[in-house]
Amino acid sequence: MFKIGDIVINNKVVLAPMAGITSFGYRKFMSQFGPGYVVTEMISDMGLIYGNKETLSYIKFEKSRLPTCVQLFGSSPENMKKAVQISESLNPNIDFFDVNMGCPVNKVIKTGAGSALMKNPKLCGDIVRAMKEVTNKPITVKIRLGFDMNHLTFMEVINEVTKAGASLVAIHPRTTKEMYGGQPHWDLVKDLRNKMSIPLVVSGNINTVEDAVNALKITGADAVMAARGAVGKPYLIKNINNYFEGKDVELTSLVEQANLCKELARNLIDEKGEAIAMRVFRGIARLSGELSTYDDLNSIINDYIEENLN
Ligand SMILES: Cc1cc2nc3c(=O)[nH]c(=O)nc-3n(C[C@H](O)[C@H](O)[C@H](O)COP(=O)(O)O)c2cc1C
């Protein structure tokens, strides 16, 4: 058990933010597998300030049965503060906010946001402090190790954001330069939780229950984040929970998997309309080729089941 402000989290696995994936429909689908909380896709402070239609659509989600964190990205304390105010005025269903300090994509870091913030620990603290001035909701941050191996600033960033009143840190122990490749550097975050006074979540190649157990053991973290490892394999989250509750790992039958595929597809269609939903679904299911309608998906799944059950 750990707490984010007053929010009690009873699980050791949470759902990571993933741009282009963790929309409302996806989060709703994943909720049944029991992550401790879910996070939106990253949302631009300036997009909110300018009232960009797509940005606003990310923030207008319905009440969820799990705590929902809105992840904001930006580099100016003043604008991040405004982004919090706008978010709260648009949606009463936000449980807490996270600041993206880990995105390695050029388009983001050239504006000084995302993991460019790892170069300036003091600014990281200033952003959290500014956001706290306008909300009573907890503020968390998601960081990397640093910009590159010669600039491992994570401990300074953790100290600055803790002083500023952050309620939790999630760390993805790769550098900006490493993007999403190779192994996370678990050795560099060994016993990290012991050096901290607020909860810690760890992210990076959590693809199996064993990966989760190892990452928690090495770092002493309160929870792991399921990211790519649970895309197309949502049962990963259930099985991590089962492990810690002393229950057996559950295997899903082909028919159950097919039904889950259809359920996710319907959630995405409700949210985005059929054409966009099917494009997103192709990415999640790693399908190529002909899939532009729900009927296409149904026949692909039905053919597959017929071939594999006989
Ligand atoms: C497609 C994709 C989109 C992502 N978008 C975000 C994001 O919006 N905000 C964020 O903090 N991290 C984002 N991440 C990083 C993940 O949350 C996670 O920390 C990272 O993928 C490492 O975990 P993994 O190796 O288990 O995938 C993204 C990762 C992927 C693959």
Q: Is the pLDDT of residue 220 over 80?
A: yes
Ligand 1 centroid from CA 135, angstroms:
26
Which has the minimum average pLDDT: 34-38, 170-174, 254-258? 254-258
**Residues annotated catalytic, as ranges:** 103
Mutation probe of ligand 1 site: the residue of 14, 15, 18, 231 with most atoms within 8 A of C-beta: 18
Arithmetic mean of pLDDT, 236-261: 93
Arithmetic mean of pLDDT, 60-68: 94
- pLDDT value, residue 204: 98
- pLDDT value, residue 10: 95
Q: Tell me: the pLDDT tens digits for 226-235?
A: 999 999 999 9
Q: Give the pLDDT band (50/70/90) at residue 250.
A: confident
Return mean pLDDT, the chain: 96
Q: 274-284 vs 254-272: helix axis angle to the nearest 10? A: 140
Q: Tell me: the pLDDT tens digits for 125-166?
A: 999 999 999 999 999 999 999 999 999 999 999 999 999 999
Nearest CA to ligand 1 atom 22: 204
Arithmetic mean of pLDDT, 197-216: 98
Q: Which residue ranges have their beta carbon within 6 Å of ligand 1? A: 16-21, 41-42, 71, 100, 102-103, 142, 172, 180, 203-206, 225, 227-229
Arithmetic mean of pLDDT, 302-306: 90
Contacts 24+ apart (CB under 8 A), 78-85: 78/130, 79/45, 79/46, 79/49, 80/45, 80/127, 80/130, 80/131, 81/130, 81/131, 81/133, 81/134, 82/45, 82/48, 82/49, 83/43, 83/45, 83/48, 83/49, 84/131, 84/134, 84/135, 85/134, 85/135
Which of 136, 56, 153 has the alpha carbon at shortest distance from 97?
Answer: 136
Q: Give the pLDDT band (50/70/90) at residue 286.
A: confident
What are the structural domains, with CATH classification, of the chain?
2-244 (3.20.20.70), 254-309 (no CATH)
Q: What is the DSSP string of 195-246?
A: G-SS-EEEES---SHHHHHHHHHHH--SEEEESGGGTT-THHHHHHHHHHTT
Q: Give the pLDDT band (50/70/90) at residue 287.
A: confident
Ligand 1 centroid from CA 81, angstroms:
24
Cα–Cα dist 287/101, whole Å: 31
